[in-house]
């Protein structure tokens, strides 16, 4: 069993206060760009307080930190190539925003033919329990 864990990646989604974006908002969804066209810029510009990891969460040596700008951790990132290079074939996904970021990452992982994709429900969350349960 321990041998199988060497081919498994734990993907933790959304552990920043907010999603990180470039200072000009060029990587922001079109419908949110107006929020980045002010002198203040967006609230999650790289290096800002909003882009920092939530309190109590830290990246350890050997971990791979990925900055995503859309819901899926695979969209326009190097995640798939990093996992392939590491010979990862099983994914365990946890984090926040079950109906958005977690769901889209799972859909993309399945579309990329990962043979095993698991979500630990007790280690995921959404804004409300109703949203998390898919009732809203």
pLDDT digits 0-9 by tens, 30-58: 555 555 544 454 455 566 555 566 677 77
Mean pLDDT for each 10-residue chunk of the chain (136 residues)?
76 66 57 51 55 69 79 92 95 88 95 96 84 74
Q: Which domains, ranges and CATH numbers included, belong to the chain?
A: 1-16+55-136 (3.40.50.850), 17-52 (no CATH)
Q: 10 Å Cβ neighbour count for 66?
A: 14
pTM tops 0.75, yes or no? no
Q: Phi and psi at residue 90, in whole multiples of 5°?
A: -125, 135
Sheet holding 8-13, edge to edge: 8-13, 90-96, 116-125
Spatial distance between the Cα atoms of 32 and 29, rounded to a whole number of angstroms: 5
pLDDT value of position 16: 52
Spatial distance between the Cα atoms of 133 and 129, rounded to a whole number of angstroms: 6
């Amino acid at each position: 069993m321990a041998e199988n864990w060497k081919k498994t990646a734990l993907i933790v989604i959304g552990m920043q206060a907010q999603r990180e974006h470039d200072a000009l908002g060029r990587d922001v969804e079109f419908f949110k760009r107006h929020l980045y066209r002010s002198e203040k810029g967006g609230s999650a510009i790289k290096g800002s307080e909003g882009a920092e990891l939530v309190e109590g969460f830290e990246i350890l040596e050997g971990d791979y930190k990925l900055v995503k700008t859309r819901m899926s951790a695979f969209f326009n990132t190097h995640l798939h190539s990093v996992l392939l290079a590491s010979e990862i074939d099983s994914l365990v996904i946890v984090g926040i925003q079950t109906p958005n970021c977690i769901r889209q990452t799972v859909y993309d992982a399945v579309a990329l033919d990962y043979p095993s994709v698991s979500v630990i429900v007790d280690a995921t969350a959404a804004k409300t329990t109703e949203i998390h349960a898919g009732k809203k």
